[in-house]
């Protein structure tokens, strides 16, 4: 057992873990898996967008970095232009000083891309996204059109408020679902149509408050109903708050009663974790697809030999990497795309053979943004690694203190929430920046918004609604109002951030517990703790129940 240097809890370093460390030529980690994950995602801001100014052209630009930060941000046009070179900021390596200290100084001087979205149209308020059209406030969106307030969406259209969804159309408030349309409030559903509140349902149409159904049509609370009864019930759920409240109590009771599969996985072999699809030999894996030979991997797709990685879209032979697309042979990287043989680098694009790079674009054989020959690079990097071993830096991701964001701006706050005082006591940053509302914006409490969407006036677009949960104002966008009217849905009383947090809270914790199948008593590892009230089945028992 090892003791975590951050939270002081003991954690196991298994023989399989040791083989990975030997393969990657790194020492055993000093932090437990949760603290390692927390450290990586403290470098990721997915939901805060700011108006900033391009360092070069001085034009306004949308950025994930607030204007009060001492950072040089570039609009996409300037970043990709020949007006500047990241190599102009190169530094010689100083063997008398720690690497992280030198890297932090160099990185602070180098301009960075204001926001990451490419090949998109009218989708300026999206980040880590590409090939989208008319999308707004979204992260990890690919090939989406008219999608809003969504995190991790692929090939979706005309939908809002989704988390880990693909191929959805005209859907609202959906989590871990795919191939659904004309539906609202779905979780763990596949090929479901015209439905309203459904959990773990597949290949079904017009379900209302149903759980664990397969190949069904016209059901309410798992009981057969007529098409007209289903449509009428859906209408009442949209327009009658008291009826909705009573109905949801019955739906939640039905959810609690239905057995849960120990891991929500499909077509997997030798895997552990949760929300795993089409994967092999992925251990401690969460929200992943097409993964092979990986450990401690989170929110990833198309990765082979990936260890301690988060938000990867295509990669191979990776260790402690966060935010990458088509990255090969990477170690300790943040937001590095289409690159290979790269370590301890940030915001690098299309580069190879880099150690300690920042904002590089199609550069090779670079150390601390200084250009070297192939021979010079090959000789110097091993010496730097030996120096980092002496300073006990080698093998560790960037310290949280080096994050460009306040802790409360990042995904770490989503999975590892902390109070401001606790964050600052640790020496980490906290952001107090809030963009001011325009003076002509009127703030109203959510209770003053009509429940029936047909009663909502057009001038709501000139208001800011006070979120019932955070008391912070949020605005309704014109295309958002059009969506609610088209779907007949009421205006939400929660801000987009609060709604996202509620969706995220529906997912199980990323911790494996030992318990027994509640039907056959076979030993299982599951994200359902033993003291939770749900009945949890092994896969064979679960499949016998639902089919």
Do residues 239 and 452 make contact, with C-beta atoms less than 8 angstroms apart?
Answer: yes
pLDDT at position 316 over 90 = yes
Alpha carbon of 61 to those of 117, 123, 125, 335, 529: distances in Å?
Answer: 13, 13, 10, 20, 46
Confidence band for 441, pLDDT divided at 50, 70 and 90 = confident
- Please state the domain extents for the chain: 2-30, 123-261
Confidence band for 440, pLDDT divided at 50, 70 and 90 = confident
Q: Report the largest interatomic distance among the alpha carbons of the chain, rounded to a whole angstrom.
A: 77
Q: What is the separation, in whole angstroms, between the first and last Cα of the chain?
A: 42
What does the alpha-carbon distance between residue 8 and residue 27 come to, in Å, rounded to a whole number? 19
Supply the pLDDT for residue 17.
96
Supply the pLDDT for residue 438.
79
What does the alpha-carbon distance between residue 172 and residue 158 come to, in Å, rounded to a whole number? 9
What pTM did the predictor assign?
Answer: 0.95
Name the strand (E) or helix (H) holding 289.
strand 273-337
Q: Considering only CA atoms, which of 221, 30, 201, 61 is closest in space to residue 127?
A: 61
Q: What would the pLDDT profile of 479-508 be if each residue is shown by its tens digit?
A: 999 999 999 999 999 999 999 999 999 999
DSSP 121: B
Give the mean pLDDT of 367-373.
Answer: 98
Say if residue 350 is exposed, middle or buried (CB neighbours under 10 Å; 0-12, 13-18, 19+). middle
Alpha carbon of 216 to those of 191, 195, 503: distances in Å?
Answer: 11, 11, 26
Supply the pLDDT for residue 391.
97
Q: Which residue has the tokens 């990497």?
A: 321
DSSP 263: S
Do residues 256 and 532 make contact, with C-beta atoms less than 8 angstroms apart?
Answer: no
Give the mean pLDDT of 379-406.
Answer: 98
Confidence band for 362, pLDDT divided at 50, 70 and 90 = very high
Supply the pLDDT for residue 435.
85
What does the alpha-carbon distance between residue 79 and residue 359 come to, in Å, rounded to a whole number? 9
Q: What are the residues whose beta carbons fall under 8 Å from the beta carbon of 503, sequence distance 6 or more?
A: 161, 162, 163, 173, 175
**Sign of the CA dihedral with 445 first, then 450, 451, and 456 last:** negative
Give percent of the chain above pLDDT 90: 98
Give percent of the chain above pLDDT 70: 100
Name the CA radius of gyration of the chain, rounded. 24
What does the alpha-carbon distance between residue 217 and residue 205 come to, in Å, rounded to a whole number? 5
Give the mean pLDDT of 70-92.
Answer: 97
pLDDT at position 436 over 90 = no
Region of residue 182 (phi > 0: left; psi between -120 and 50: alpha; otherwise: beta) = left
Supply the pLDDT for residue 400.
98
Supply the pLDDT for residue 399.
98
What does the alpha-carbon distance between residue 169 and residue 487 come to, in Å, rounded to a whole number? 12
What does the alpha-carbon distance between residue 275 and residue 12 come to, in Å, rounded to a whole number? 23
pLDDT at position 332 over 90 = yes
Q: Tokens for 76?
A: 């996409």
Supply the pLDDT for residue 389.
98
What does the alpha-carbon distance between residue 66 and residue 60 come to, in Å, rounded to a whole number? 12
pLDDT at position 437 over 90 = no
3-state helix, strand, coil in the chain (%, to 5): 25, 35, 35
Q: Which residue has the tokens 């479901």?
A: 192
Q: Which residue has the tokens 């679902």?
A: 177
Q: What are the residues whose beta carbons fall under 8 Å from the beta carbon of 224, sequence distance 6 or more?
A: 218
pLDDT at position 460 over 90 = yes
Do residues 127 and 142 make contact, with C-beta atoms less than 8 angstroms apart?
Answer: no
Give the mean pLDDT of 426-447.
Answer: 90
Do residues 280 and 297 make contact, with C-beta atoms less than 8 angstroms apart?
Answer: no
What does the alpha-carbon distance between residue 36 and residue 45 come to, in Å, rounded to a whole number? 17
Do residues 230 and 217 make contact, with C-beta atoms less than 8 angstroms apart?
Answer: no
Q: What would the pLDDT profile of 231-246 be if each residue is shown by its tens digit?
A: 999 999 999 999 999 9
pLDDT at position 304 over 90 = yes
Supply the pLDDT for residue 503.
97
pLDDT at position 28 over 90 = yes
DSSP 358: B
Q: Tokens for 2?
A: 């090892």
């Amino acid at each position: 057992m090892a003791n975590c240097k951050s939270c002081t809890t003991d954690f196991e370093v298994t023989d399989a873990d040791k083989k990975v460390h030997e393969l990657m030529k790194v020492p055993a980690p000093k932090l437990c898996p949760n603290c390692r994950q927390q450290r990586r995602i403290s470098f990721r801001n997915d939901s805060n967008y700011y108006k900033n100014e391009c360092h070069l052209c001085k034009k306004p630009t949308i950025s994930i970095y607030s204007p009060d930060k001492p950072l040089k941000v570039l609009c996409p046009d300037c970043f990709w232009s020949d007006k500047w070179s990241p190599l102009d900021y190169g530094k010689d390596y100083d063997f008398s000083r720690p690497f992280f200290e030198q890297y932090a100084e160099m990185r602070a001087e180098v301009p960075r891309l204001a926001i990451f979205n490419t090949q998109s149209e009218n989708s300026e308020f999206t980040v880590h996204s590409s090939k989208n059209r008319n999308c707004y406030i979204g992260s990890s969106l690919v090939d989406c059109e008219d999608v809003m307030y969504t995190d991790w969406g692929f090939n979706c259209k005309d939908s809002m408020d989704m988390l880990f969804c693909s191929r959805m159309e005209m859907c609202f408030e959906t989590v871990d679902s795919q191939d659904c349309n004309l539906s609202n409030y779905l979780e763990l559903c596949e090929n479901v149509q015209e439905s309203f509140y459904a959990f773990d349902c597949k290949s079904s149409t017009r379900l209302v408050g149903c759980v664990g159904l397969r190949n069904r049509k016209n059901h309410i609370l798992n009981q057969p109903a007529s098409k007209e009864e289903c449509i009428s019930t859906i209408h009442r759920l949209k327009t009658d708050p008291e009826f909705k409240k009573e109905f949801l109590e019955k739906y939640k009771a039905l959810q609690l009663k239905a057995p849960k599969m120990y891991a929500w996985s499909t077509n997997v072999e030798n895997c552990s974790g949760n929300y795993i699809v089409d994967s092999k030999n992925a251990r401690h894996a969460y929200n992943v697809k097409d993964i092979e030979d990986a450990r401690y991997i989170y929110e990833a797709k198309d990765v082979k030999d990936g260890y301690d990685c988060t938000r990867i879209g295509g990669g191979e032979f990776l260790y402690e990497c966060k935010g990458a697309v088509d990255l090969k042979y990477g170690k300790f990287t943040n937001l590095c795309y289409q690159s290979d043989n790269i370590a301890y680098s940030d915001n690098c694009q299309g580069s190879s053979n880099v150690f300690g790079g920042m904002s590089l674009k199609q550069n090779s054989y670079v150390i601390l943004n200084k250009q070297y020959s192939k021979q010079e690079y090959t000789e110097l990097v091993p010496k730097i690694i030996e120096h980092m071993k002496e300073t006990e830096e080698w093998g560790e991701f960037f310290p949280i203190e080096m994050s460009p964001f306040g802790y409360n701006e990042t995904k770490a706050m989503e999975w590892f929430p902390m109070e401001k005082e606790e964050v600052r006591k640790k020496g980490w940053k906290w952001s107090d920046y809030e963009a001011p509302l325009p003076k002509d914006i009127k703030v109203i409490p959510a209770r003053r918004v009509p429940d029936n969407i047909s009663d909502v006036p057009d001038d709501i677009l000139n208001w800011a609604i006070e979120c019932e949960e955070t008391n912070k104002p949020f605005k309704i966008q014109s295309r958002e109002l059009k969506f609610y009217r088209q779907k007949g849905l009421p205006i939400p009383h929660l801000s987009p951030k609060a709604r996202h947090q509620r969706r995220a809270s529906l997912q199980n914790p990323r911790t494996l517990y030992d318990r027994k199948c509640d039907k056959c008593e076979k030993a299982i590892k599951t994200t359902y703790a033993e003291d939770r009230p749900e009945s949890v089945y092994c896969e064979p028992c679960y499949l016998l129940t639902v089919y």
